[in-house]
Amino acid sequence: MKCKLLGVMGIVFAILSLATAAEPNLSAGKELFQMCAACHGQAGEGNQSLNAPANAGQSKWYTEQQLNNFRAGIRGSHPQDRFGSQMIPMAAMLKDSQAVEDLASFIDTLPLTKPKATIEADASLGKAAYGVCASCHGVNGEGIMALNAPRLSHQHDWYIARQIRHFKQGIRGSHAKDFYGAQMRNMAYILASDKQIDEVAAYINTLD
């Protein structure tokens, strides 16, 4: 019921955003993306050595949501989130909602990449555990906007594993205004061990 309620809230938020935002300027978004490309790559493919996840092809609504969370300090403000904290000053460079809209719209146009597997774990065991995740994120990890669940497929396994651990540890999702992050914290507890987290991340890496 909680998942459905938050999903409805997400739809309302998205509709209100669409109603108030101006048409996105993809050229402006492309220019803004150059500051992102320094870490995330020119194709948005991500870079493990810089702890930068892939953002290519991520849903526009989710990219906007997370950029706004970084701008507001809702995400990345936890003392132990040293990588998330690096995004706060970067997101602060987006001067207004139009800049966020332009950047997120451009990222939405980037073709999906296929990150290489880096975690050695049994993906077949992860498949069974992923059944719970699929109810919100989709069978193929495609994401479901109505449930405020982002795309998971075509994302680096090391990043997914880290975020699940951060949710469990309260490093992410514990801010009072991070309503959807709080939802993920509850779900992350289902994975009782680091082994299970790695298995799920390894399975998600196989989704296409």
DSSP 88-123: HHHHHTS-SHHHHHHHHHHHHHSPP--PPP---S-H
**For residue 14, is pLDDT > 70?**
no
> 31 near 39, Cβ under 8 Å?
no
Q: What is the largest CA-CA distance in the chain?
A: 46
Q: Return the CA Rg of the chain.
A: 16
* Poorest-pLDDT segment among 7-21, 60-74, 106-120, 165-179: 7-21
1 touches 186 (CB < 8 A): no
Q: Is the pLDDT of residue 133 over 50?
A: yes
**11 pLDDT tier (thresholds 50, 70, 90):** very low
**Res 156 pLDDT > 80:** yes
pLDDT-based confidence at residue 22 (cuts at 50, 70, 90):
confident
Triad 183, 170, 175: Cα angle to 5°: 70
Confidence of residue 7 (pLDDT cuts 50, 70, 90): low
Q: What is the 3-state secondary structure (H, E, C) of 37-67?
A: HHHHCCCCCCEHHHCECCCCCCCHHHHHHHH
What pLDDT, on the 0 to 100 scale, is given for residue 57?
A: 87
Query: Is pLDDT at 107 greater than 80 in this prediction?
Result: yes
Confirm if 93 and 35 have CB atoms less than 8 A apart: yes
Q: Can you list the pairs that 96-99 forms with residues at least 24 positions away whose Cβ atoms lie under 8 Å? A: 97/20, 97/21, 97/68, 98/21, 98/22, 98/25, 99/28, 99/32
pTM: 0.88
Q: Is 33 helix (H, G, I), strand (E, B) or coil?
A: helix
